[in-house]
Amino acid sequence: MYGIFMESWVIFKQYGGNGYLLFLFGAALLYLLIAEKDLRKKIVVAIVPAIILVGFFVPFTRIAYVAILDDGADTYYRLLWLLPMSVCVSYAGCKLFAKHKRIGTAVIGAVIILCGSLVYKNEYVSRAQNLYHIPQVVINICDKISPEEGEPRVRAVFPKELVHFVRQYDTDILMPYGRDIIASQWNYYNAVHEVFEKPETINAEELLAATRETKCRYIVMWQDRSIDVSLEEMGLILVDNVDGYNIYEDPKMAN
């Protein structure tokens, strides 16, 4: 039971990122449990979130979740989506400001300054190139490999800089791994990622063994990516070059 509890604790810490949000949520929850006098509001913004949070750490909750869902071990963190963190923190801040204007102003101002970050410094934030607000190259590539209406979905390998955006644009294109693999703090293992992203020079034979094992029909690769043997020599078809990315189709996975 202790091991299951610690697994939940690790998931909770990873969910909180740098920890500021978890600290704010905990402080807001404690403040609302004490300061909120309206029972109906307290139930919504304090009591129910507290019950969900406690339930998340109870080992029996995780055991039941994993037993019911096939992918329960990988998606247990989604229970944390039930926590209205932003609502609780915002409401607690407003309540503190309304009750203690001077102290509230100082505390809220310090929280915003110390816990915030400039969003435009994020590597995935850039000037919008289209209505989807994702890189245009992703749209161009997906339009090349997306199945026709009525056809089954296809599976493709994308470089890590594109992985975040594919699913946002076209859910008919599946990938052997997603953002959870790329995020270093989770340290998950995926055979395709190991041979596609980690080596300085890709071993073509190992790559194809991994992609065929995961039923990948397409491999999208930066045209200058180092590889020991050309994928065309390995029997793949170069479908197109889109904005510097080569799109290869594996005939063995076409059917």
| 121 occurs within a structural domain | no
Same domain membership, residue 169 and residue 97: no
What the block records as the tokens of 153 is 């979905």
| 125 occurs within a structural domain | no
The answer to whether residues 219 and 162 touch, using CB atoms and an 8 Å cutoff, is no
| 178 occurs within a structural domain | yes
The answer to whether residues 251 and 236 touch, using CB atoms and an 8 Å cutoff, is yes
**End-of-domain residue from the set 54, 83, 116:** 116
pLDDT in tens, the chain (255 residues): 778 888 888 888 888 877 788 888 888 999 999 988 889 999 998 999 999 999 999 888 888 888 888 777 778 888 999 999 889 988 988 888 888 878 778 877 787 777 777 778 777 677 888 888 889 999 999 999 999 888 999 999 999 999 989 989 999 999 999 877 776 666 778 899 999 998 999 999 999 999 999 999 999 999 999 999 999 999 999 999 999 999 999 998 876
Same domain membership, residue 24 and residue 108: yes
| 124 occurs within a structural domain | no
Same domain membership, residue 147 and residue 228: yes
Which pTM value belongs to this model? 0.57
- Residue 170's φ and ψ, nearest 5 degrees, are -145, 105
What the block records as the tokens of 194 is 């190991």
**End-of-domain residue from the set 87, 116, 145:** 116
The answer to whether residues 245 and 142 touch, using CB atoms and an 8 Å cutoff, is no
Same domain membership, residue 105 and residue 41: yes
| 78 occurs within a structural domain | yes
Residues facing residue 240 across a β-bridge: 247
Same domain membership, residue 171 and residue 109: no
Show Cβ contacts of residue 31 under 8 Å, excluding neighbours closer than 6 positions: 92, 95, 96
Number of domains in the chain: 2
Same domain membership, residue 165 and residue 73: no
Structural domain span for residue 157: 136-253
Same domain membership, residue 92 and residue 146: no
The answer to whether residues 239 and 216 touch, using CB atoms and an 8 Å cutoff, is no
Same domain membership, residue 96 and residue 68: yes
Same domain membership, residue 152 and residue 75: no
Same domain membership, residue 95 and residue 160: no
Same domain membership, residue 157 and residue 99: no
Q: Quickly count: other Cβ atoms within 10 Å of residue 248's Cβ.
A: 24
Same domain membership, residue 169 and residue 70: no
